[in-house]
Amino acid sequence: MTEASGITGAAIRGPSGRSPRSLLRSIEIDTRLLGMIGALAIIWIGFNIMSGGLFLTARNLWNLSVQSSSIAIMATGMVLVIVSRNIDLSVGSLLGFLGYTMAMVQAIWIPTALGLGFYQPYTWVVALLVGVLLGAALGGFQGFIVAYGGVPSFIVTLGGFLVWRGLIFQYAQGQTIAPMDSTYALLGGGPIGSLGDVGSWVVGALACAGIVYSVIGSRRRRQRYGFPVRPTWALVTVIVAGSAAVLGAVWIANNYFWPPALATQYALDHGITEPPGGLQIPVGIAYPVLLMIAVAIVMTIIATRRRFGRYAYAIGGNPEAAELGGINVRRTIMLTFALLGSLVAISAAIQTARLNGAVTNLGVQNELDVISAAVIGGTSFSGGIGTIPGAVLGAVVMQSLRSGMVLLRVDSPTQDIVVGIVLVTAVGLDTFVRRRATR
Amino acid sequence: MSSGEANMTTTELVPLVEMRDIRVAFGGVHAVDGCTVDLYRGEVVGLVGGNGAGKSTLMRALSGAHPPDSGEIRIDGQPVSITNPRDAKTLAIETIYQTLALADNVDAPSNVFLGREVTTRLGSLDDSAMESATRTVMGRLNPNFTAFKTQVKSLSGGQRQAVAIARAVYFNAKILIMDEPTAALGPAETAQVRALIRQLKSEGIGIFLVSHDIHDVFDLADRISVMYHGQIVGTVNKDEVTIDQVLGMIILGKRPEEVTQKELAKLHG
C-alpha cells in the first residue's frame, strides 16, 4: 500500500513532515488554486510595472472586479456543465436574448403594454424573476434535448447559439431598448450601484465571521468522529489569510472615491458644502461584485456539499458507474444546463443594467470568455475535474489580461492573440502537471 | 461438509431469487436466450461459461443495468420489475461489477455512498459521517486501507476492489451479484475475498458468483449453473460433479450424461 500513502497521508500523517509540500498539505489548501493566485499576482505586478503604476490602483482594481463579475457568474455554472462532460456554446446568445427580454419587461411590457407605468418599486424584481425563470427554462430545454434526446451538447447549444441570437431581432426589429428601471440599473454597479464604505466593512466583517464559522465547523465535525484534524497553526493561518484577503479587498474598494463631478452634484443635492479638496465619498464594493460573491458561495455549496454537485462530478468521472450507482444521470445533466441558464440571466441583468439598455450585440463572444475562464480555472474537458473558485479566478485572470493590455494601449486584435496564446499555454501547463502528478 | 444438508432445508422454502425464461437480445444476437436460474438464502450459485456465454448479461438483467426483453424475475416469490439500478437496490440487490463501476475522480467514501449519500437535516452531504462509516466497513474488508481522502483512480487494484465490495455489502444486501470479484487481485487479496464470501453466506445472503475461474467456483459455490451460447446447459450440485464434468459442460455445452466417449476423448486430447 506504499504507492497510495504518498498521496494519501494528508490527514493521516501527524505533524512530522516539514517539507513545503507537507506544510501546504496540513493547511489543506488546493495547490492548484494557490498556483493560480500566484500566476494572477505575477500578471498584476507585471502590468503594474509596465504601465508605470497604473494597474494596481484602487480605481483600476475596482473596475476589474466589476468587469469580471458577469463572466465569473456564468463561469461557475459552466464548470458543472463541463465537469459532467458537456459544453454550452449558447451562453452569449442566451445572455443577449434574456437581457433583451428583461429590458422589454421593464421598458415596454410593464409600463406600456400593461399600462402600469414606469419605475414601479416591483419592476426590477419582476424583470429579474422573468429573466431567471426563462433562463432556467431555456437552459433546461437545451439540457433536456442533450440528456433525454441524446443529441451531443455541442450541437444542441450550437443551435441555441444561432436561435437565441436570431430571436433578439423578433423583438422590435433589433432596436435598442432603453432606459432601464432606476432600481434595476443599480445592478450594473457604478458609484451609486455600490455599497459605500460602511456597508462594505459590514459585508467584510460578515465574510470573516463566515470563514471562522465554516473552518471551525468542519473541524468540529471531524473531531466528532475522531478523525485527525489539521494542526491549530494551520487553522489560524487559514483564518488569518482569508480574513486579511477579504478586509484588504474591502479596503481597496473603499479607497476608490466617487468621481469629482458626481461628488459635487451629490454635495449640491444634499446641501453639503464641499471641503477644499472636494468631497471624498468611498465607493465600496459594487453590487454586481456582491452578486458574484453570493453566486460563487452558493455554487460552491452546490458543487461540494449537495447531492446534485456530487453527482455531476461522479458523472464526469465515469458516466456508466454513476448510472450503475443509481444516479439519475439524465436529470442531473439537464439540471446543470438549467442552472447555467439561470446564472446567464443574472449576468444578463448586470450587463443590461451597466449599459442602461439592451442592444443586439449584447453578450456576443461571451461564451468564449466563459468557457476560457472555466478552463483556465482548472476545469477539464475530460470531465470530473473543476472548481468554482478556480473558475472565478479564471475570469479574473482573463479580465486582468484584457484590462492590463488596454492600459498598455495594446490594440484589440493583438489582445485576442495574447489571450488565445495564454489560454492554450495555461491548459497545456495544467495538463502537463496533472499527468505528472498521477504518475 | 454440511452444505448438502443446508441445501435440503432451504430448498423447501421459496427461492430468494427466481429468474424465469429471461431473454436479452442485442440487435439480432440472443445474448441470453431463455435462461432460468434460482438462488436461495445463504447459498452461493456459481455462474460459469465461456467468453460471451451470457453470464454477465444475465446478471445485468437482475442488477437493473440492462433490463431483460422478456421473462420473469421473482424475489421471495413476488414478481418484480427491475428497470434500472435503483429498482434493484431498493430490492436489496447489490452488484460488484467486473469493471468495478467506480467514479474514479472522487474518494472512497463518496463511491461507497454514491447515489445513497448521507445528508444532514438541511440536505447537505455529511462527508464526515460517510467517511466514518467507510472506515468501519473497510476495517472489516481490508484493514490496511487508509486512503479515505484519495481519488479512487490512484488506488491499487485490490484497494479499488475493496471499495467496490464495501459499497455492495454496506447497505445490508440480501442478494449479492459478484462478477469476477477476484480477477484483478493477488493471492492474498483473493483469499480475503473468499473468506468474505463465506462470511456473507453464513449471514444468509444469497450470492451469484460469476467467474472464469472454475477452482474459485468449486471452492465457494453450492450449486453451479453452466451457460453456453446464451442458454443454461444445466444446474448441478457441486458435491455431485467433478471439475472435469463441469469443464465439459462449459466447453461442449452438454450435460455430463449427454457427452459421448468420443467427445470426452477429444476434450482431453
Q: What is the arithmetic mean of pLDDT over A199-226? A: 92
Q: What is the C-alpha to C-alpha distance for residues A250 and A283, in angstroms, rounded to an integer?
A: 10
User: What does chain B come to in residues?
Assistant: 269
Give the phi and the psi of residue A90 in degrees, each rounded to 5.
-95, 0
**Spatial distance between the Cα atoms of A64 and A43, rounded to a whole number of angstroms:** 13
**B179 CB near a chain A CB, below 8 Å?**
no
Q: What's the grid cell of residue B41?
A: 438464502
Contacts of B153 in chain A (CB under 8 A): 317, 438
Q: Which of residues 232-261 of B touch A (CB under 8 A)?
A: none
Report the gap between the CA of B58 and the closest CA in chain A (Å).
15
* Among B125, B128, B132, beta carbon nearest to A307: B125
Smallest Cα distance from B260 to chain A, Å:
43
Q: Residue length, chain A?
A: 439
Q: Where are the domains of chain A?
A: 29-193+286-290+327-438, 195-284
- Give A235's contacts (C-beta < 8 A, 6+ positions apart): A215, A216, A219
pLDDT value at position A250?
Answer: 95
pLDDT recorded at residue A14: 40
For chain A, give the secondary structure using H, E and C.
CHHHHHHHCCCCCCCCCCCHHHHHHHHCCCHHHHHHHHHHHHHHHHHHHHCCCCCCCHHHHHHHHHHHHHHHHHHHHHHHHHHCCCCCCCHHHHHHHHHHHHHHHHHHHHHHHCCCCCCCCCHHHHHHHHHHHHHHHHHHHHHHHHHHHCCCHHHHHHHHHHHHHHHHCCCHHHCCECCCCCCHHHHHCCCCCECHHHHHHHHHHHHHHHHHHHHHHHHHHHHHCCCCCCCHHHHHHHHHHHHHHHHHHHHHHHCCECCHHHHHHHHHHCCCCCCCCCCCCECCCEHHHHHHHHHHHHHHHHHHHCHHHHHHHHHHHCHHHHHHCCCCHHHHHHHHHHHHHHHHHHHHHHHHHHHCCECCCCCCCHHHHHHHHHHHCCCCCCCCCCCHHHHHHHHHHHHHHHHHHHHCCCCHHHHHHHHHHHHHHHHHHHHHHHHHHHC
Q: Pick from A10, A224, A306: which is nearest to B124 by CB?
A: A306
For A304, the closest chain B residue by CA position comes to B125
DSSP code of residue B15: P
Query: Per the structure block, which three cell numbers stand in for A313?
Result: 462530478
Nearest to B105 among A224, A313, A326 (CB): A313
Please indicate whether, in this complex, the C-beta atoms of B103 and A317 are within 8 angstroms of each other. yes
Q: What is the pLDDT of residue A21?
A: 65
Helices (H), B82-156: 85-90, 108-112, 127-141
Answer whether B105 sits within 8 Å of A225, measured CB to CB: no
The answer, for B56 touching chain A at a CB cutoff of 8 Å, is no
Counting Cβ atoms within 10 Å, is residue B88 exposed (0-12), middle (13-18) or buried (19+)?
Answer: buried
Whether residue B125 and residue A310 make contact (CB cut-off 8 A), yes or no, is yes
CB contact under 8 A, A307 and B155: no
Q: Does A5 contact B119 at a Cβ distance shorter than 8 Å?
A: no
* pLDDT, tens digit, 9 for 90 and up, residues A278-325: 888 999 999 999 999 999 999 999 999 999 999 999 999 999 999 999
Q: Provide the grid cell at A256.
A: 476608490
Cα gap A98→A84, rounded to integer Å = 25
Task: Flag if B115 and A1 touch (Cβ within 8 Å).
Answer: no
Q: What confidence category does residue A13 fall into, taking pLDDT thresholds of 50, 70 and 90?
A: very low
Q: Which three cell numbers stand for residue A149?
A: 434526446
Tell me the residues of A at the B interface, defined by beta carbons under 8 Å apart: 1, 3-5, 7-8, 10-12, 221-222, 224-225, 227, 301, 304-307, 310-311, 313-318, 320-328, 383-385, 438
Q: Count CB-CB contacts under 10 A for residue B267.
A: 13
By the 8 A CB rule, do B102 and A321 touch?
Answer: yes
Residue A137, min C-alpha distance to chain B (Å): 24
pLDDT given for residue B12 in this prediction = 57
pLDDT value at A165 more than 80 = yes
Please tell me if residue B104 touches chain A, with a CB cutoff of 8 Å. yes
Tens place of pLDDT for every residue, chain B, 269 residues? Answer: 444 444 444 445 789 999 999 999 998 889 999 999 999 999 999 999 988 889 999 999 999 999 999 999 999 999 999 999 999 999 999 999 988 899 999 999 999 999 999 999 888 999 999 999 999 998 888 888 888 988 999 898 888 988 999 999 899 899 999 998 887 788 888 888 888 899 999 999 999 999 888 888 999 999 999 999 999 999 999 999 988 889 889 988 888 888 777 777 777 66
Tell me the nearest-neighbour CA distance from B236 into chain A, angstroms: 31
Interface test with A, best of B154, B160, B163, B189 (most A CBs within 10 A): B154
Domain ranges of chain B: 3-92+172-268, 107-171
Q: How confident is the model at residue A333 (pLDDT cuts 50, 70, 90)?
A: very high
Q: What is the third-level CATH fold of A29-193+286-290+327-438?
A: ABC transporter involved in vitamin B12 uptake, BtuC (1.10.3470)
Size of interface A-B (CB pairs under 8 A): 120
CATH superfamily membership of B3-92+172-268? P-loop containing nucleotide triphosphate hydrolases (3.40.50.300)
What is the rounded CA–CA span in Å between residue B91 and residue A332? Answer: 23
- Which positions in chain B touch A306 (Cβ < 8 Å)? 123-125
Cβ contact B146–A323 (<8 Å): no
Cβ-proximal residues to B81 (8 Å cutoff; 6+ apart), any chain: B73, B87
Which DSSP symbol is given to B181? T
**Chain B residue with Cα closest to A302:** B124
- Per DSSP, the three-state class of B202 is helix
| Band of pLDDT at residue A7, cut at 50, 70 and 90 | very low
Residue numbers in A near B179 (CB within 8 A): none
Q: What ipTM was assigned to the predicted interfaces of this complex?
A: 0.87
Residue A385: list chain B partners with CB under 8 A.
105
Give yes or no for residue A27 having a pLDDT over 70: no
